[in-house]
Amino acid sequence: MKPSSFEETFTLWLDGRLNSAEAEAFENQMRERGLDPAAERAGGEKLHRLLRENSPAPMMKHTEFFNRQLMYRIEQERRDEARPEASVLSFWRWLALPRIAWAGIACLLIAGVMYKAMIPTSGPGPLDQSPYFATVVDSRTFDPTVSANTVYNPQDNITVLWIDGLDYLPADFVLQ
């Protein structure tokens, strides 16, 4: 394995993993960069010693469980990489939505069906004729001298409530 960067080669050089020809070439490269190989080795060894003394690795609890979980994830990734149809199957992953999402979708669907069934949006009657409509339900008056009648003109699509027998009120009259 050939190191790809200066840092990797430096680490291999500090650990003594380079053969003599590679080590000599790397030390020449360090001199070209203006670094002293002896000082760099001393500094690296000092740092290595300090790290070993002052930052011991914590003891891991439940190592078997950790190893099993790690191996399971590695196996999963290998299987996913080996499957060419993994991208096709990712389309169907939306089916694995949580139950709360499916419940929300079902509620919206039920509400839409109930709206369509209970609230008429088309059909015969005033809804087809105009978006603005009114229905006269009762045209009774409590004064026997006053009469009220409804007149509908289908040609103009208008209903008029005709009230006869009221006293005349001038236009400038203010009701109180």
pLDDT tens figures, 162-172: 888 888 878 78
Name 150's bridge partners: 161
- 175 or 159, greater pLDDT: 159
Confidence of residue 126 (pLDDT cuts 50, 70, 90): very low
Q: Which residues of 41-80 are buried (b: 16+ CB within 10 A; e: fewer)?
A: beeeeeeeeeeeeeeeeeeeeeeeeeeeeeeeeeeeeeee
Q: Is residue 45 part of a domain?
A: yes
Task: Find the helix or strand (DSSP H, E) in which 54 lies.
Answer: helix 37-54
Instruction: Give the domain range for residue 146.
Output: 126-164
Count of domains for the chain: 2
Task: Find the helix or strand (DSSP H, E) in which 88 lies.
Answer: helix 86-90
Percent of the chain with pLDDT over 90: 24
Q: In 10 A of CB 12, how many CB atoms? A: 16
Q: Is residue 147 part of a domain?
A: yes
Cβ contacts of 120 within 8 Å, gap of 6 or more: 127
Residues in the chain: 176
Q: Is residue 19 part of a domain?
A: yes
Q: Is residue 151 part of a domain?
A: yes
Query: Residue 133: pLDDT above 80?
Result: no
Among the three residues 39, 54, 69, which one is the final residue of a domain in this structure?
A: 54
Q: Is residue 100 part of a domain?
A: no
Q: Is residue 134 part of a domain?
A: yes
Confidence of residue 174 (pLDDT cuts 50, 70, 90): confident
Least confident of 44-53, 130-139, 146-155: 130-139
pLDDT in tens, 7-40: 889 889 998 899 999 999 999 999 998 999 999 9
Q: Is residue 132 part of a domain?
A: yes
Q: Is residue 110 part of a domain?
A: no
Return the structure tokens found at 59. 């003891």
Angle subtended at Cα 67 by Cα 63 and Cα 72, rounded to the nearest 5 degrees? 150
